[in-house]
């Protein structure tokens, strides 16, 4: 209470501390970038010229590359993205790696890792806009709004299928946590892009060979 007896309501920022989705990645993205004059990238990660290499990305890569071999496998990436309150499943890690490399080779080099960080930054910013209470979860109605804002046309039946698939409770709680939100959006985006490549004259229909359909869909089923 103030001296005048008036109560001051806490601001939104004071009411809660944002959850670092995908920690420690998110925490490093908030760090100030050191001066390029004094910074020298570690030898095990040097891409491009020293002046263009983001020190935060270098730090993240070297932290994730636990065996120091210059590459990040799926287990290393899972450990890097997970925190005490947010565990990335291997399935979502595999979807991320497939999205970046477009192959089932579950290894990332420095350039692919940089692309992955950019991808996560994008989806994190979207998730945070709708996770108002910073619970690390959004419900099915919020997910519908998110998908519509991204230009995805999702019917109620499709929405229920997505929630059942990506809700860790199997659709009981009807909420999706951050890591599965990323997986859900990546799945929809990739399948939508695939469809639009084959769609003719915005007709709403496309033709696929059986083989091409398998190659596009199976990675999401067996990730």
Alpha-helix runs per DSSP H in 65-89: 74-81
pLDDT at residue number 58: 87
Residues, the chain: 223
For position 181, what pLDDT does the model report?
94
Do 127 and 10 contact (CB within 8 A), yes or no?
no
Two tokens at 25? 């990645």
Q: If DSSP codes are grouped into helix, strand and coil, which group holds residue 137? A: strand
Which residue intervals of 65-109 are DSSP H helices? 74-81, 90-101
Give the residue from 120, 89, 116, 90 showing the smallest Cα distance to 102: 116
Res 31: pLDDT: 40
pLDDT of residue 22: 54
Superfamily name with CATH number, domain 19-221: EF-hand (1.10.238.10)
83 CB burial (10 A radius; 0-12, 13-18, 19+)? middle
Residue 138 DSSP one-character state? E
pTM for the whole structure: 0.74
Tens digit of pLDDT per residue, the chain (223 long)?
444 444 444 443 444 344 455 554 554 444 433 333 333 333 444 444 344 567 888 888 999 999 999 999 999 999 999 876 778 899 999 999 998 998 888 999 999 999 998 888 889 889 989 888 888 899 999 999 999 999 888 899 999 999 999 998 887 889 999 999 999 999 898 888 888 888 888 888 888 888 988 887 887 777 6
Nearest CA among 129, 117, 123 for reference residue 178? 123
pLDDT at 75: 96
CA gap 26, 30 in Å, rounded: 7
């Amino acid at each position: 209470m103030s001296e005048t007896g008036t109560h001051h309501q806490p601001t939104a920022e004071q009411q809660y501390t944002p959850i670092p989705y995908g920690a420690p990645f998110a925490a490093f993205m908030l760090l100030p970038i050191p001066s390029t004059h004094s910074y020298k990238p570690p030898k095990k990660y040097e891409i491009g010229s020293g002046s263009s290499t983001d020190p935060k990305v270098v730090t993240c890569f070297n932290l994730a590359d636990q065996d120091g071999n210059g590459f990040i496998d799926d287990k290393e990436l899972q450990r890097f993205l997970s925190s005490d309150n947010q565990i990335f499943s291997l399935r979502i890690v595999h979807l991320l790696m497939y999205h970046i490399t477009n192959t089932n080779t579950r290894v990332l080099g420095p350039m692919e890792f940089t692309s992955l960080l950019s991808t996560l930054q994008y989806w994190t910013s979207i998730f945070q806009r709708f996770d108002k209470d910073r619970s690390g979860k959004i419900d099915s109605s919020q997910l519908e709004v998110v998908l519509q804002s991204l230009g995805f046309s999702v019917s109620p039946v499709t929405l229920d299928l997505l929630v059942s698939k990506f809700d860790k409770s199997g659709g009981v709680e009807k909420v999706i946590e951050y890591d599965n939100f990323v997986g859900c959006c990546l799945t929809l985006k990739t399948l939508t892009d695939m469809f639009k490549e084959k769609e003719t004259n915005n007709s709403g229909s496309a033709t696929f060979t059986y083989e091409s359909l398998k190659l596009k869909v199976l990675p999401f089923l067996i990730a």
